[in-house]
Amino acid sequence: MPTQEINQLCDRIREAAFRLHKHLRHGHLEKVYENGLKHRLDKLGIEVAQQHPLPVHDEDGNLPGDFYADLLIENELIVELKACKTTTDDHIAQLLGYLRSANKKLVY
């Protein structure tokens, strides 16, 4: 998917997530936000896989396990939800590890 299309998709996802948070506010478990965002994206016609397994490969091809993306969108974007006041370096490291393992590029 071209970068411009990914950016447009990101805008739609951010808007849906913002509207969901504006309605629910804070104080819920991550699963509530995950289910709510999936529902809203489904209504927009965006392909969403929830708790989608993505294999983690060692350099020799060994498969030590899978990680589960909260939401895998259009098979391009990984959404990792956090129900917290602020993200930490550990949260960022977790997502970057997911991207490397899934062989997905990071788009700002």
Instruction: Specify the pLDDT at position 105.
Output: 61
Mean pLDDT by 10 residues, the chain (108 residues): 92 97 94 98 98 87 89 91 90 83 63
Range of the domain at 94: 3-102
The pTM of this model reads 0.84
Instruction: Specify the pLDDT at position 108.
Output: 46
Question: Is residue 108, in this structure, part of any structural domain at all?
Answer: no
Mean residue pLDDT of the chain comes to 90
Task: Count CA atoms within 13 Å of residue 39 on its CB side.
Answer: 8
Q: What is the CA radius of gyration of the chain?
A: 14
pLDDT, tens digit, 9 for 90 and up, residues 2-11: 889 999 999 9
Question: Is residue 77, in this structure, part of any structural domain at all?
Answer: yes
Number of folded domains in the chain? 1
Question: Is residue 107, in this structure, part of any structural domain at all?
Answer: no
Name the token pair of 72: 């895998």
Question: Is residue 25, in this structure, part of any structural domain at all?
Answer: yes
Question: Is residue 28, in this structure, part of any structural domain at all?
Answer: yes
Amino acid code (one letter) for 39: H
Q: Which of 98, 101, 94 is nearest to 56 (CA)?
A: 101
Question: Is residue 82, in this structure, part of any structural domain at all?
Answer: yes
